[in-house]
Amino acid sequence: MFCDQCQESIHGTGCTARGVCGKDEMTAKLQDTLVYATVGLALAAGRQAGGVSREAGRRISESLFVTVTNTNFDDVAIVEEIKKTLAMRDRLNALLPAVPDHDAARWTGSSLDEFLAKAETVGVQSYSANEDLRSLKSLILYGLKGLAAYTDHAAVLGYDDDEVNAFYAKGLGALVEDLSLDELTALVLETGGTAVKAMALLDRANTSTYGNPEITKVNIGVGTKPGILISGHDLRDMEELLKQTEGTGVDVYTHCEMLPAHYYPAFRKYSHFVGNYGGSWWQQDREFESFNGPILMTTNCIVPVRESYRKRMFTTGMAGYPGLVHIPARKEGGSKDFSALVELAKTCQPPVEIETGEIVGGFAHNQVLALADKVVEAVKSGAIKRFVVMAGCDGRHASRKYYTGVAGALPDDTVILTAGCAKYRYNKLQLGDIGGIPRVLDAGQCNDSYSLAVIALKLKEVFGLDDINDLPISFDIAWYEQKAVTVLLALLYLGVKGIRLGPTLPEFLTPNVAAVLVEKFGIKPIDSVEGDVEAMMAGA
């Protein structure tokens, strides 16, 4: 196996025997074959008379999402995804005057052994013999994987974007084409442009269905009833779980990236939606143990499952893990059936309280724009000197203490804008407020980084600036998995310069490609807390 797609990849070599994430060799290989099958599907779908259909776009989203870090460790499920993808590829091939002239569009296989054998020649290292070209192709592929997660969530709510689907064909097709450094660099930016569209699409899907997030205080303590803990990003699963637990005597809590569900009016109304339990994804093994009740993983961020809670943990959607019960997809027009979790919860003890208090969030674009006058006034009066965007992911590495340090060291006249699980490094610090505006404004999930971009663009307009980089705003982004790559590419596309990226730069960037990013966009690695805070306050 070879995998270098996340920040915890073994530095210098990538993961070659077993992933730091827990992914083993067989799973890694099957995921490589699934990506290659998806490239074949993209080649066939992109050549259809009407362009990439919504059905094909959804299949591509699902297949790529399965291969995002920590999403699916279940080989049986991945084999099924490969089969479904090849079947759709072949149906589309049959509609063409000629099957695309590439092995990705033509190879055949139907057994586990054949899929594993195929993986030997189609992993990410096969996309080019030139390491710089391969690096750019990796950047495109990983950006597309994150994008796929977002378009999958939007599709679940009935929202698709034909332009995003069209780009799946172009971007995935590029992985198996001979393209120059310049052509691939342009495609990297185009991936960023498509990422903006995908994030806007998901924002529209979420807010049209569940209302605009509002300022909300979220309880981090526990109640006295047994609970179900829901993690991941899928808001439709959230909705159906809340409906199916209402009046059952079972409470519902969020974990990690599901915390922002509390900010939506459609979910706030449920009295049994009690609070958020614990911290970010990598702490789940300890926290799932003490939660005592059933746990539902709706998307990525599964860490190797401990025996102590294995029987209480369920997956759904694109998530999967061997030995766990998987709640099947909903039928057309229907709902998923979470009754197994509800029945199990009734037999469980209430959660053990691990902390008390509350965190405040709900500062997505609509809410912040409603406060725009107050914010603009605070900037004009000098009460707010600078905004620091600290969005992205959290992870296991001790070096991520840097983000807690930066949040604490930023002067009292700065406001932190955040989204994604990166916030767990500082969202329980008491950082106060500026004239009633909290110093940490949490927009929501990582996809809600879109909101942060909307807010920045609005501020640019209000202050009559031509360039987003003229705002008193700095970007100190943390990355872990491929959705953060998507967010980063979106920011680059929007013209943001001088982003700090940490805790380490991606392993898959060669020195030459990193140099291009430095030269064109001023991307820089993080340094010391003191040095970076001082530099950011000076606008550097």
Strand order through the sheet with 227-231: 273-276, 251-255, 227-231, 295-297, 313-316, 325-327
Give the nearer residue to ligand FSO in terms of CB position, either 239 or 448.
448
Q: How far is the CB of 389 from ligand FSO (least distance, A)?
A: 14
Give the separation between CA 242 and CA 236, rounded to whole angstroms: 10
Q: How far is the CB of 69 from ligand FSO (least distance, A)?
A: 8
Partner that binds at residue 348, options ligand SF4, ligand FSO, none, CB closer than 5 to 8 Å by kind: none
Residue 322 in 3-state DSSP?
Answer: coil
Say if CB 69 and CB 5 are below 8 A apart.
yes
Residue 316 in 3-state DSSP?
Answer: strand
Instruction: For residue 348, say whether it is annotated as part of any ligand binding site.
Output: no
Instruction: For residue 481, say whether it is annotated as part of any ligand binding site.
Output: yes
Q: How far is the CB of 172 from ligand FSO (least distance, A)?
A: 21
Q: How far is the CB of 392 from ligand FSO (least distance, A)?
A: 6
CA 421 centroid distance within chain: 9
Q: How far is the CB of 501 from ligand SF4 (least distance, A)?
A: 17
Instruction: For residue 21, say whether it is annotated as part of any ligand binding site.
Output: yes
Give the nearer residue to ligand SF4 in terms of CB position, either 6 or 139.
6
Q: How far is the CB of 177 from ligand FSO (least distance, A)?
A: 29
Alpha-helical runs (H) found in 348-436: 365-370, 372-381, 401-409
Strands 216-219, 358-361: parallel, antiparallel or unpaired by DSSP? antiparallel
Partner that binds at residue 62, options ligand SF4, ligand FSO, none, CB closer than 5 to 8 Å by kind: none
Give the separation between CA 24 and CA 526, rounded to whole angstroms: 31
Instruction: For residue 225, say whether it is annotated as part of any ligand binding site.
Output: no
Give the separation between CA 293 and CA 249, rounded to whole angstroms: 13
Give the nearer residue to ligand FSO in terms of CB position, either 259 or 471.
259
CA 431 centroid distance within chain: 26
Partner that binds at residue 9, options ligand FSO, ligand SF4, none, CB closer than 5 to 8 Å by kind: ligand SF4
Partner that binds at residue 21, options ligand SF4, ligand FSO, none, CB closer than 5 to 8 Å by kind: ligand SF4
Give the nearer residue to ligand FSO in terms of CB position, either 46 or 444.
444
∠ at Cα 61 (57, 63), nearest 5°?
115
Residue nearest to ligand SF4 (CB): 19
Q: Is 503 in the site for ligand SF4 (CB under 6 A)?
A: no
Give the nearer residue to ligand FSO in terms of CB position, either 179 or 421.
421
Q: Is 272 in the site for ligand SF4 (CB under 6 A)?
A: no
Instruction: For residue 301, say whether it is annotated as part of any ligand binding site.
Output: yes
Give the nearer residue to ligand FSO in terms of CB position, either 393 or 492.
393
CA atoms within 13 Å, Cβ hemisphere of 520: 15
Partner that binds at residue 15, options ligand FSO, ligand SF4, none, CB closer than 5 to 8 Å by kind: ligand SF4
Partner that binds at residue 157, options ligand SF4, ligand FSO, none, CB closer than 5 to 8 Å by kind: none
Binding mask 18-37 for ligand SF4 (x = CB under 6 A): -xxx-x--------------
- Provide the sign of the torsion angle of the four alpha carbons 129, 521, 451, 159, taken in this order: negative
Chain positions contacting ligand FSO, by CB under 6 A = 256-257, 281, 300-301, 393, 420-421, 445-446, 480-481, 483-484
Q: Is residue 125 packed enough to be buried (19+ CB in 10 Å), middle (13-18) or exposed (0-12)?
A: middle
* Amino acid in the structure at residue 514: A
Strands 500-502, 437-438: parallel, antiparallel or unpaired by DSSP? unpaired
- Provide the sign of the torsion angle of the four alpha carbons 240, 234, 369, 458, taken in this order: negative
Say if CB 226 and CB 206 are below 8 A apart.
no
* Amino acid in the structure at residue 165: N
Partner that binds at residue 301, options ligand SF4, ligand FSO, none, CB closer than 5 to 8 Å by kind: ligand FSO
Give the nearer residue to ligand SF4 in terms of CB position, either 63 or 418.
63
Instruction: For residue 6, say whether it is annotated as part of any ligand binding site.
Output: yes
Give the separation between CA 292 and CA 289, rounded to whole angstroms: 6
Partner that binds at residue 82, options ligand FSO, ligand SF4, none, CB closer than 5 to 8 Å by kind: none
Give the separation between CA 174 and CA 472, rounded to whole angstroms: 38
Q: What are phi and psi of 346, to 5 degrees?
A: -65, -20
Instruction: For residue 257, say whether it is annotated as part of any ligand binding site.
Output: yes
Q: Is 75 in the site for ligand SF4 (CB under 6 A)?
A: no
Instruction: For residue 401, say whether it is annotated as part of any ligand binding site.
Output: no
Instruction: For residue 256, say whether it is annotated as part of any ligand binding site.
Output: no
Partner that binds at residue 3, options ligand FSO, ligand SF4, none, CB closer than 5 to 8 Å by kind: ligand SF4
Residue 524 in 3-state DSSP?
Answer: strand
Partner that binds at residue 8, options ligand SF4, ligand FSO, none, CB closer than 5 to 8 Å by kind: ligand SF4
Q: What are phi and psi of 252, to 5 degrees?
A: -125, 135
How is residue 17 written in tokens? 């025997």
∠ at Cα 55 (73, 53), nearest 5°?
130
> Would you list which residues are annotated within the binding site for [4Fe-4S] cluster?
3, 6, 15, 21
> Would you list which residues are annotated within the binding site for hybrid [4Fe-2O-2S] cluster?
233, 257, 301, 393, 421, 446, 481, 483
Q: Give contact residues for ligand SF4 (rule: CB under 6 A).
A: 3-6, 8-9, 15, 19-21, 23, 69
